[in-house]
Amino acid sequence: MSIHPSAVIAPGAVVPGSCTVGPFSTIGPHVVLGEGCILVSHVVLDGRTRIGARNTFHPFCAVGVAPQDLKYGGEPTELEIGDGNTIRENVTVSRGTAGGGGVTRIGSNCLLMAGVHIGHDSLVGSHCILANCATLAGHVIIEDYATVGAFSPVHQHCTVGTYAFIGG
């Protein structure tokens, strides 16, 4: 295990020995990391977050943070992330809300480019690409192999179908 001395890992967090935790990263007490994950630097993983194997998190992403929903009252909601995803700089991923099913999910082998936001209770399939600054409001479904182009917002309660491409 490679953990930079400036990283903060809360008691209770699960970090396998095959993971790399870079400088100034923080991992909350309810986070479970899979094998071979890399936190480059300045990464925040929080909440009840389960992350699969071989995911890479780049600087200044905030993953598993509280939802941006005024109705959220601190309920123990979740985020689930599959395997082999690349989460680039400044990405934010909110966990679910009690009123929306309680879980946000991201599949496997996705690329979330810089500045992407995935809102609460959203479901992102596998092999998806969300280009720079694409934003998903809460309760959005992105099906497998879909691409959301740069600067494209997706309104809440919308579905982007399998292999669909949304351009900015």
Active site members: 120-121, 138
Q: Using CA atoms, how far apart are residues 140 and 133, in angstroms rounded to an integer?
A: 16
Residues 6+ apart with CB under 8 A from 27: 7, 8, 9, 10, 13, 15, 21, 33, 39, 45
- Calculate the alpha carbon distances from 81 to 8, 34, 107, 136, 156 in Å: 21, 10, 6, 16, 20
How deeply is 163 buried, as exposed, middle or buried, from its count of CB atoms within 10 A (0-12, 13-18, 19+)? exposed
Q: Taking CA 10 as the corner, what is the angle to CA 15 and CA 55, rounded to the nearest 5 degrees? A: 35
| Cβ atoms within 10 Å, residue 42 | 19
Q: Are 127 and 109 in contact (CB under 8 A)?
A: yes
